[in-house]
């Protein structure tokens, strides 16, 4: 081997280091042995051994979403790659920057149905932002550098690089990252139309019933975007609501914040959306969980949509003004313009709008009655929030009722502190995701708010948590049901609870003990706070089995196929049968 | 696409011809086709061939159908694909030429052979292969012209058809050279 040459695997690791990778989540196998060999010698990258490749991607997602960096994954060929697919799809739906390196059989065996061969680029094509099969070792370094650029620029997303074993072993001349990589697509124009900004600013200032609706794009755009959005809200003194993905980008304590909107959003947020005259959507994508029935979505409003992805604009909702670009850049221009015009006193009074909103608030749509000794799940989250709000707390969740209760009752005052699977709705996301978060922030309080059914989906990661001594708190709202499935069966299928009971649950306390970590259990409201205190005070990982009211439903709710103004606030409200159209919806 | 009813006025669907410049590498075509099947868009015709060996670029000419909102969506989605560099909507840009090539094999005996040759001549089709019981004709032109020719040939005997799909280019002096230089 000549001096300047290293092998492909070493070049890959070197390129990762050059791109700022400090942590990689992975699982070894035959087709990635050279890469693992290169990692063995490397002191700059910490490898976290997960227990399933899906968890590797979720962990990388948790890492990426809490830090704003690119998450990195390493899996082997065949089953390693196919196991990662759910995670990659999740990252694509929620716009999380991920690099997934997968091993592949050597190039001369591709297409022969070799052992642990899969058409990984074929399988992952629709669930990645882009992918590569490296067939030419000379292009290896360039491809890795470019992958990072693609994953993190524009609308972020997962990029998979499939690395045949012979490429990992071949001699490669290392190529440094060039400062400016070719624009990989012209969708993200850097020019912002100042005219448009000024039109939108005027529209916002002249609105009588404006509302701002922010989403995950604000979080992805970095902490400054969140600050600018909050500033805009304060200057305009207008109501603001956030999507599930956007929680935290305006502090929950801001007086203008109406809570989350959408299917399980607050009454005031949804009614304000329905009745607004001007809507500003910043970095959200009019997801069906948010809009409800489209032909009745904010019917009398002018809509402005800011998004980095041009294809998000006019995809499901036609808007009057679409601005393509990065949230923080556009918000900064918009704030400037609004400030400028604001001084000229063109702003309309919003007293009537606010008094209307306050009437909706008086409905207290998140109200619940904690009676008797059984723990209401809502109370469990509320108490958890009260006990942890003074810490630097990161919350991850699984998917289902507990996720919605967490979104409703836990207050988020900063972006990047809330990791949940929004678009894909992946049960089993929270536990591995919390691994990624805790690795990024070893000293912070990381809590996985979980349901017993979701927890079972990736509970093998307890082993990872123990191996790396991650003091993650697993807060299981245990109602022995796949609660959201049960709720829909109650509402739409005549309470025929087909297969939604979580039978044969483990004893979670013993399960914890079997891994050598602490297990707590509480079933009485009088002991709830003490249990939460104990959980927080334990230095290591904890599984807290919170036995909650079994048949509690998640409200308020926009029934499927209904509009924002057709919310139901409790089970008693559900007098109208779900429409035939609604029954077909998910 | 969401299962929720789309918020569109009952706008008519029209046919659009798109012209794409893409990297000539494995997987690019699969990405484009996967986009159409995955999101439920129509493809009426699609052709692809390398157009620039040095820069390693191919052109995809594509005919699709949809409302203007859907077409805008298709164009934006196409531009999200990393190896797709240029997406031009020829129908929207102005006058353009659409052309296609067809190879038509006709198995025919007796008097119909003369009729077949007469029709071929009318359509300015070239005769590429002749046996005592068959012809192979080559015809280029607008898809509607090819349709008419194929229809006539079918009534004369057993046929086998091979068509290339539409290739398209705008009229006038406008070229993509500047756009290509930016790739």
Distance CA A121, CA A107 (A): 13
- Torsions phi, psi of B95, nearest 5? -65, 140
For residue range B144-161, list pLDDT tens digits in order.
Answer: 999 999 999 999 999 999
Contact A543, A452 (CB under 8 A): no
Q: Provide the pLDDT for residue B11.
A: 78
DSSP state of A34: H
| Chain B contact set for A315 (CB, 8 A) | 73
pLDDT of residue A345: 64
CA-CA distance, A492 to A495, in Å (whole number)? Answer: 8
H or E element: which one contains A143? helix A140-152
Q: What is the pTM of this model?
A: 0.95
All residues of chain A having their beta carbon less than 8 Å from the beta carbon of residue B176 are: none
Output the pLDDT for position B181.
85
Q: Between chains, do B82 and A185 touch, taking CB under 8 Å as contact?
A: yes
Distances (CA, A) of B144 to B18, B102, B123, B139: 18, 12, 12, 12
Determine, for residues B79 and A185 on separate chains, whether the beta-carbon distance falls below 8 Å.
yes
Contacts of A300 in chain B (CB under 8 A): none
Q: Is B80 on the interface with A (CB under 8 A)?
A: yes
| Span B28-78, pLDDT tens digits | 999 999 999 999 999 999 999 999 999 999 999 999 999 999 999 999 999
Model confidence band, residue B2 (pLDDT cutoffs 50, 70, 90): very low
Q: Is the pLDDT of residue B1 over 50?
A: no
The answer to whether A187 contacts B76, with C-beta atoms less than 8 Å apart, is yes
Range list of β-strands (E), chain B: 14-23, 45-52, 57-66, 84-89, 96-107, 126-131, 134-141, 158-163, 167-170
Query: Which parts of chain A register pLDDT below 70?
Result: 1-3, 180-190, 345-347, 574-576
Residue B10 confidence (pLDDT): 67
- pLDDT tens by residue, B67-122: 999 999 999 999 999 999 999 999 999 999 999 999 999 999 999 999 999 999 99
pLDDT for A188: 54
Confidence of residue B4 (pLDDT cuts 50, 70, 90): very low
CB within 8 Å of A394: residues ≥ 6 apart: A66, A417, A418, A419, A434, A437, A438, A441, A444, A445, A446, A447
Burial of B40 from C-beta contacts in 10 A (0-12 / 13-18 / 19+): exposed
Disruptive mutation site among A133, A145, A154, A311 for chain B (greatest number of B CBs within 10 Å): A311
């Amino acid at each position: 081997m000549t001096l300047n040459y290293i092998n492909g695997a070493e070049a890959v690791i070197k390129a990762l280091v050059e791109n700022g990778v400090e942590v990689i989540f992975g699982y070894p196998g035959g087709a990635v042995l050279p890469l693992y060999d290169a990692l063995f010698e490397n002191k700059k990258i910490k490898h976290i051994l997960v227990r399933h490749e899906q968890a590797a991607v979720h962990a990388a997602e948790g890492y990426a979403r809490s830090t704003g960096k690119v998450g990195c994954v390493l899996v082997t060929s065949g089953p390693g790659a196919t196991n990662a697919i759910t995670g990659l799809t999740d990252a694509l739906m929620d716009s999380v920057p991920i690099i997934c390196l997968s091993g592949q059989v050597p190039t001369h065996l591709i297409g022969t149905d070799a052992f642990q061969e899969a058409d990984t680029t074929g399988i992952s094509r629709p669930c990645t932002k882009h992918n590569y099969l490296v067939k030419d070792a000379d292009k290896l370094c360039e491809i890795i550098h470019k992958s990072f650029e693609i994953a993190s620029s524009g609308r972020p997303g997962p990029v998979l690089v499939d690395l045949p074993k012979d490429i990992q072993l071949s001699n490669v001349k290392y190529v440094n990252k060039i400062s400016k990589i070719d624009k990989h697509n012209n969708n993200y124009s850097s020019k912002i139309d100042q005219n448009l900004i000024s039109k939108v600013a005027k529209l916002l200032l002249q609105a009588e019933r404006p509302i701002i609706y922010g989403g995950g794009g604000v979080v992805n755009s970095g902490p400054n975007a969140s600050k600018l959005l909050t500033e805009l809200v304060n200057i305009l003194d207008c109501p603001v609501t956030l999507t599930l993905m956007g929680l935290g980008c305006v502090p929950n304590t801001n007086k203008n914040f109406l809570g989350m909107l959408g299917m399980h959003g607050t009454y005031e947020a949804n009614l304000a959306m329905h009745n607004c005259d001007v809507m500003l959507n910043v970095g959200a994508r009019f997801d069906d969980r948010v809009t409800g029935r489209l032909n009745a979505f904010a019917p009398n409003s002018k809509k402005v949509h800011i998004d980095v992805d041009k294809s998000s604009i006019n995809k499901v909702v036609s808007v009057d003004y679409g601005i393509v670009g990065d949230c923080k850049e556009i918000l900064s221009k918009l704030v400037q313009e609004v400030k400028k015009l604001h001084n000229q006193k063109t702003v309309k009074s919003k007293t009537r709008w606010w008094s209307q909103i306050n009437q909706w608030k008086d409905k207290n749509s998140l109200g619940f009655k904690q009676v008797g000794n059984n723990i209401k799940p809502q109370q469990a989250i509320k108490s958890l929030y009260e006990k942890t709000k003074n810490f630097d707390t990161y919350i991850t969740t699984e998917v289902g009722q507990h996720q919605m209760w967490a979104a409703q009752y836990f207050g988020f005052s900063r972006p990047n502190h809330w990791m949940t699977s929004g678009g894909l709705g992946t049960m089993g996301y929270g536990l591995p995701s919390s691994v990624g978060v805790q690795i990024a922030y070893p000293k912070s309080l990381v809590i996985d708010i979980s349901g017993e059914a979701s927890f079972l989906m990736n509970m093998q990661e307890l082993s990872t948590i123990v191996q790396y001594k991650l003091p993650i708190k697993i807060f299981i709202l245990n109602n022995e049901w796949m609660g959201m499935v049960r709720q829909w069966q109650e509402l739409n299928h005549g309470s025929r609870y087909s297969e939604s009971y979580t039978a044969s649950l483990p004893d979670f306390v013993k399960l914890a003990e079997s891994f050598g970590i602490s297990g707590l259990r509480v079933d009485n409201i009088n002991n709830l706070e003490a249990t939460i205190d104990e959980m927080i005070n334990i230095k290591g990982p904890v599984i807290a089995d919170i036995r909650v009211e079994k048949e509690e439903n998640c409200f308020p709710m926009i029934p499927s196929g209904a509009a924002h103004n057709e919310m139901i606030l409790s089970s008693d409200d559900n007098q109208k049968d779900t429409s035939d159209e609604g029954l077909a919806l998910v | 696409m969401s299962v929720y009813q789309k918020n569109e006025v009952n706008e008519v669907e029209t046919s659009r011809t798109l012209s794409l410049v893409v990297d000539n590498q494995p997987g690019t075509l699969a990405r484009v086709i996967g986009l159409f099947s995955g999101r439920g868009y129509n493809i009426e015709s699609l052709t692809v061939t390398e157009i620039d060996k040095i820069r390693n670029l191919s052109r995809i000419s594509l005919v699709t159908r949809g409302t203007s909102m859907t077409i805008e969506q298709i164009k934006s989605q196409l531009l999200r694909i990393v190896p797709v560099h240029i997406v031009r909507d020829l129908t929207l840009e102005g006058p353009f030429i659409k052309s296609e090539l067809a190879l038509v094999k006709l198995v025919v005996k007796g008097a119909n052979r003369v009729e077949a040759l007469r029709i071929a001549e009318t359509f300015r089709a070239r005769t590429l292969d002749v046996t005592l019981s068959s012809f192979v004709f080559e015809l280029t032109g607008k898809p509607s012209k090819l349709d008419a020719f194929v229809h006539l040939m079918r009534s004369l005997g057993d046929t086998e058809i091979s068509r290339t799909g539409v290739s398209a280019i705008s009229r006038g002096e406008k070229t993509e050279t500047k756009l290509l230089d930016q790739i």
